[in-house]
Amino acid sequence: LIIRGGHNIDPTMIEETLRRHKSVLLVAAVSKPDAYAGELPVAYVQLVKGSTTTGEEIAEFARAHITERAAAPKEIYVLDEMPLTDVGKPSKVHLRHDAAKRAFSSALREALDAGQSFDVTVGTDATHGTAATIGLAAAMAQRAGLEKTIHEVMKAYTMHYSIQWAQ
């Protein structure tokens, strides 16, 4: 279930719609963390061999065919190969982690100085279920300011995060 600002969205509705697109071979709809709405629907697709359809073209198809406006995916990510579970279904856990990484990376890129490099990883955490790790290098004197900026960005999200300083 994707919960977008009070709307409960069934990912199956999105997936069934996108499967009808002639260029889509595999599809998985998952939630992407959003600072305002909580979660936004996004979809990952693997195209049929030889297709040159873009994510934006598939997003237009989704907007035209999904009747519930809030359920239309905000982004479509085209993958060369869909990650699969052991039973051959799209690995939604892997895709949710990727969507979170994309969301946090984008938000941090906007907030941090352009020259500040960082890396975001998202994965399963025994204590918190899922957690993000933000890795970066900075001089000791800069760390307090960077921590404050990162906290300001990440407090808008419900996912646990930690900062890992490079040695």
pTM: 0.94
Contact 59, 71 (CB under 8 A): no
Q: How confident is the model at residue 6 (pLDDT cuts 50, 70, 90)?
A: confident
Structure tokens at 164: 């890992």
Q: Name the burial class of residue 50, with classes exposed (0-12), middle (13-18) and buried (19+) by CB atoms within 10 angstroms of its CB.
A: exposed
The Cα-based distances of 52 to 46, 56, 80 in angstroms read 11, 12, 11
Q: In this predicted model, what pLDDT tens digit does every residue of 79-117 receive, in sequence order?
A: 999 999 999 999 999 999 999 999 999 999 999 998 899
Q: How confident is the model at residue 39 (pLDDT cuts 50, 70, 90)?
A: very high
